[in-house]
Chain A
Amino acid sequence: MKPVVVDHITKTYSSKKDKVTALNDISFEVEEGELFGIIGPDGAGKTSLFRIIATLLVQDSGKATVEGLDSVKDYKEIRNILGYMPGRFSLYQDLTVEENLNFFATIFNTTVNENYDLIKDIYSQIEPFKKRRAGKLSGGMKQKLALSCALIHKPSVLLLDEPTTGVDAVSRKEFWEMLKKLKQQGITILVSTPYMDEAGLCDRIALVQNGEVLSLDTPQGIIDSFENPLLAVRSNDMLKLLKRLKSARGVDDAYPFGEYHHVVLQKNYNKDDLSDYLVKEEPGTEIISAQPNIEDCFMNLMKN
């Protein structure tokens, strides 16, 4: 039995005025011991999906299972084996680091000592501040504490909802390294993030938009499926350049990407076709071939 199975799940929120579809017939499976990423922008339905798997919400239709247990029927059993870290920092701000950890250990019927080896690497970094109230920790330290608390009962499946949102670049990197170590301990991890650059750190990813899976593969597999030629273009007047690129012949898509504009060409065009057109008007324009990354793939998938 796969640790997490999401089978044709649909979830809508209805208010008086309109109906919002958060998840639209979404399906995927997570393999044992896998680090599985749900990548998508805000509002893609990531949190709704996680809450359904975590037994906190009930879907309109479809079925979700964790270790073979149904998220609606067997919610009590799932709550014993699942580690869940919500997107918002949700520990007790007026309790100290140590008290939070002890509290969550106790309510999951375990002790800190029993599973200390599992959280040692993470917790040891915040242990010097164990007498500090959780509300007074920095963003990165809060995430480490939240992860420690979610892990303290040695869950077999760990759900992390946007764990790195609002965390500085260094802490983000550290956080992903911790996830890799956890994976080595055999814990299946399902993580969501809006940051495309974090996708490459997962074993497999699902690109999600408007409650639907656009693509599901290994990060390399997704990149390899990007077949069109990709160029990076730069000139003195970037805004004008973007306008011109969008109307140029053979250009499928053009969007700002850091210092450059990325240009997706149609399959039977190449760099030279564009360079003639651009350099004629503005001689200083720099055009280089670029390697696609997940963000390019996402933009491309969204467009189609």
Chain B
Amino acid sequence: MKQFVSLIKKEFHHILRDRRTMFILLGMPIAQIILFGFALTNEVKNARIAVYDQSKDIATAALITEINSSRYFDIENNLNSYKEIEETFKKGSIKLAIVFPQNFHDDLQHFNKAQVQLVTDASDPNTANALSNYATAIIKDYENRITNDRKLPYTIKTETRMLYNPQLKGSYSMVPGVMAMVLMLVCTMMTAITIVKEKELGTMEILLVSPLKPIKIIVAKAVPYLLLSIVNISTILLLSVFVLEVPINGSLLLLIFESVLFTLVCLAFGLLISASTGSQQIAMFISLTGMFLPTIMLSGFMFPIENMPLPLQIISNIVPAKWYYSIVNAVMIKGAGIEIVWKQTLVLAGITLLLLALSIRKFKIRLA
């Protein structure tokens, strides 16, 4: 036991005395949350648009005011011809153009129907889609208001409720993703380097000639990073609740427990890489390609897994971040309890045990 404590103390000295690494470890979650929360969002706000209003009547005026006052759009300029639409798009100054034909109000009044054209810049398809949806919603809103006074036969009104995230904030799906990413980076990459570093510096030679058991060396390497990760988990949760205003709807305790479990998976994977490679560069490379990329691509955080081809869907099952992401999503955002996420929890626990056993087996008791 004294040996073990001494090993952990030594490991802490390594981490705490390397100020730069320390700074990265503790600063990264803050930077990522702020980046993803404010800068790298796929919500569209204040998109610049142009209007080509050929009828200039009370209806179009009302609609334009409505659109301009929403937080999604800013009307950049009023156009006077079709030709100008193309030109303005080419200049890249607008994302959407709204065209009202002549006699918009008259048509609405006399034929009960009028047309609006939405022209979007689909070189960025996601934004184009989002913008046309927003604009359509505003126009539908207006339509509802004016038809309310009259009785129309056979109308079906769709009423949509956005559950758990009524404002459709991007940060709701971003926080679980960032948690997975940060824990992965801190735990996998840092632990992957740690044993290899001892091999490179030659200190492993002395550790091996000592009576220390491999399991002690390995577990002692993981403990400090586990504690650091708990600090990081707390930072991320505090930031997301108080800065990004993402609520924790489920049990905080369960959330922390699941996060620690995921940390263990990452640690075990890092240790496995560390035990089976010979240089810090290779260890870093493997942890980046083997863990970080799948986490971003196949966890469902950036791209929905349901849309992937079947082979990728199957592969995504061995990506621990996929399970963790769905757990955090369920617990934090939807307020689910352990009775809902027990399956994912078991998968994570299983992966941890498997990786840990492998890394202890892989740990070499000799130099070659």
Contact = CB atoms under 8 A, between A and B. Distances in A.
Contacts of B7: 107
Contacts of B203: 90-92
A58 B6 contact: no
A107 to B, nearest CB: 5
Given A90-B201, A94-B18, A106-B6, A79 B210 contact: yes
A88 B198 CA distance: 13
Interface in B331-368: 365-368
Interface string B175-216: 000000000000000000000000001110111111110000
A107 B205 contact: no
B10 interface: yes
Interface in A86-117: 86, 88-95, 99, 102-104, 106-109
A94 B194 CA distance: 14
Given A56-B366, A89-B202, 10 more contacts: A56-B208, A75-B366, A84-B205, A94-B18, A99-B13, A103-B6, A107-B3, A107-B211, A109-B211, A149-B206
Contacts of A95: 10, 13
Best-buried of A56, A57, A82, A103 by chain B (most CB within 10 Å): A56
A131 to B, nearest CB: 13
A172 interface: no
B2 interface: yes
Contact of B6 (A88, A91, A102): A102
A75 B212 CA distance: 12
Interface residues of B, number: 25
Interface of A: 51, 54-58, 75-76, 79-80, 82, 84, 86, 88-95, 99, 102-104, 106-109, 149
A80 B202 contact: no
Contact of A94 (B2, B9, B14): B14
A99 B9 CA distance: 10
B368 A57 contact: yes
Contact of A51 (B201, B211, B367): B367
Nearest to A89: B202
A137 to B, nearest CB: 15
7 contacts: A57-B366, A75-B366, A80-B211, A86-B202, A95-B13, A104-B210, A107-B6
A216 B208 CA distance: 31
A103 B10 contact: yes
Contacts of A79: 208-211
Best-buried of B9, B201, B209 by chain A (most CB within 10 Å): B209
B13 A107 contact: no
B209 A106 contact: no
B140 interface: no
Contacts of B367: 51, 56-57
A93 B205 contact: no
Say whether chain B's binding surface is mostly helix, strand, loop, or mixed: helix
A33 to B, nearest CB: 22
Interface string B1-35: 01100110110011001100000000000000000
Contact of A107 (B201, B207, B366): B207
A94 B205 CA distance: 17
A149 B203 CA distance: 12
Contact of B365 (A75, A91, A94): A75
A89 B366 CA distance: 19
Contacts of A54: 209
A95 B212 CA distance: 19
B3 A106 contact: yes
Contacts of B210: 79, 104, 107-108
Nearest to A155: B209
Nearest to B366: A56
A91 B14 CA distance: 12
B3 A84 contact: no
B207 A94 contact: no
Contact of B366 (A58, A92, A99, A149): A58
A216 B177 CA distance: 68
Contacts of A93: 201
Contact of A92 (B3, B10, B18): B10
Given A57-B368, A99-B13, A84 B6 contact: no
A81 to B, nearest CB: 10
A107 B212 contact: yes
A84 B2 CA distance: 22
The list of the 5 closest CB pairs from A to B, nearest first, reads A90-B202, A106-B6, A56-B367, A84-B209, A88-B202
Interface string B137-156: 00000000000000000000
Given A56-B366, A56-B367, A109-B3, A90 B10 contact: no
A143 B340 CA distance: 60
A84 to B, nearest CB: 5
B341 to A, nearest CB: 41
Given A56-B208, A107-B212, A94 B202 contact: no
Nearest to A100: B10
Contacts of A109: 2-3, 211
A256 to B, nearest CB: 35
A179 B213 CA distance: 30
Contacts of B3: 106-107, 109
B206 A104 contact: yes
Contacts of B17: 94
B211 A108 contact: yes
B244 to A, nearest CB: 37
Contacts of A102: 6
